[in-house]
């Protein structure tokens, strides 16, 4: 019995040692497998990897295959640096919003007070991307939440410093540019690692319960402006034309005045010359004037008679039958 017990104990010892060796090799193989599995990693093309060693930042890796110290000594965090992300304010679109906050307080996001003491419903969105992964991970606890707070503050500042008409129409584009610049500066000042690509004002409207009345007032104002513009257009069309006609009439009257004055002066000068000639030789001058008058008068007469003056008597000599349509005439 003792020999059998000894033989059994020996067999058990051999089995135990064999199992112990198998366990050691298995544990070693598992350790090597885990080490190999946790040593290699791949960074996607749209991302960068931030590597930490015992929680301390070590390096940033670009896209591709990389190696790190296994067993949790070095840990990597993959950050998408080329993806354009969106934060929505005052509304939530399906699948388009990266922020998964509570949607029950949307009213607190979009209701704002304008500078002229009106209430406006403002819906906006921010498009951004992670530019600096290290600052994004270690400078601020929650960069996205800080972005939301900063954007809401900037938009309320812009809306609160102007009128509701400026927010809705006149300065909407200006507000968009200013909001983007102000938000970018805030993200840089807090070292969030975020880069603001665009700020979009989806809509700026009065509250829903007064929107129809507000639109009616705006339509009346637009109709008023249209009527004023049409009146100005008609004024600019008629008045210059009337002024041009008046200037033309004035110019014609001035030309007619100059013509009459110059004509009168010429007649006065001619009369003066004739008078001087008459003083020098009255008979010749009187005869010249008579001939000139006959020269003007005779062509206008239909019948022409020649009468000879003989002392106190006169006699009819002949009638001139001169047809103006013919070259010559005949005398009877």
Same domain for 182 and 245?
Answer: no
Same domain for 46 and 73?
Answer: yes
Same domain for 183 and 172?
Answer: yes
Same domain for 230 and 152?
Answer: no
CATH number at residue 169: 3.30.479.30
**Which among 196-200, 269-273, 312-316 has the top mean pLDDT?**
196-200
Query: Last residue of a domain, which of 57, 80, 103?
Result: 80
Same domain for 291 and 308?
Answer: no
Query: Mean pLDDT, to the nearest integer, of 54-81?
Result: 89
Same domain for 308 and 271?
Answer: no
Same domain for 150 and 229?
Answer: no
110 closest CA partner among 101, 120, 96: 120
Domain residues for the domain of 321 are 301-332
Same domain for 218 and 201?
Answer: no
pLDDT, mean over the chain: 81
Same domain for 284 and 307?
Answer: no
Same domain for 66 and 119?
Answer: no
pLDDT digits (tens, 9 = 90+) for 84-137: 999 999 888 876 555 555 555 677 788 898 998 888 999 999 999 999 999 999
pTM for this prediction? 0.59
Same domain for 279 and 239?
Answer: yes
How many domains, in total, are found in the chain? Answer: 4
Same domain for 187 and 228?
Answer: no
pLDDT digits (tens, 9 = 90+) for 206-262: 888 877 877 787 788 888 989 999 999 888 888 888 888 899 999 999 999 899 899
């Amino acid at each position: 019995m003792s020999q059998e017990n000894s033989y059994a104990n020996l067999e058990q010892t051999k089995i135990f040692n064999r199992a112990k060796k198998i366990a050691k090799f298995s544990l070693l193989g598992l350790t090597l497998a885990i080490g190999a599995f946790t040593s290699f990693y791949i960074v996607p093309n749209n991302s960068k990897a931030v590597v930490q060693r015992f929680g301390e930042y070590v390096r940033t890796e670009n896209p591709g295959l990389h190696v790190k110290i296994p067993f949790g000594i070095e840990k990597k965090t993959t950050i998408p640096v080329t993806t354009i992300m969106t934060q929505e304010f005052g509304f939530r679109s399906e699948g388009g919003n990266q922020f998964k906050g509570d949607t029950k307080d949307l009213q607190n996001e979009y209701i704002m007070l304008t500078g002229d003491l009106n209430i406006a419903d403002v819906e906006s969105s921010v498009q951004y991307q992670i530019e600096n992964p290290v600052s994004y991970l270690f400078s601020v606890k929650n960069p996205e939440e800080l972005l939301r707070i900063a954007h809401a503050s900037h938009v309320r500042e812009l809306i609160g410093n102007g009128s509701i008409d400026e927010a809705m129409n006149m300065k909407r584009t200006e507000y968009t540019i200013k909001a983007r610049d102000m938000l970018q500066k805030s993200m840089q000042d807090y070292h969030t690692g975020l880069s603001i690509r665009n700020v979009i004002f989806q809509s700026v409207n009065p509250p829903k319960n007064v929107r129809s009345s507000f639109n009616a007032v705006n339509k009346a104002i637009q109709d008023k402006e249209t009527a004023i513009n049409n009146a100005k257009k008609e004024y600019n069309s008629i008045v210059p034309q009337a002024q041009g006609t008046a200037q033309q009439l004035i110019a014609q009257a001035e030309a007619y005045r100059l013509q009459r004055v110059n004509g009168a002066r010429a007649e006065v000068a001619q009369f003066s010359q004739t008078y001087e000639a008459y003083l020098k030789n009255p008979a010749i001058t009187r005869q010249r004037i008579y001939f000139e008058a006959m020269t003007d008068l005779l062509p206008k007469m239909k019948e022409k008679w020649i009468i000879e003056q003989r002392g106190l008597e006169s006699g009819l000599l002949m009638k001139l039958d001169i047809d103006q349509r013919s070259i010559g005439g005949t005398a009877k």
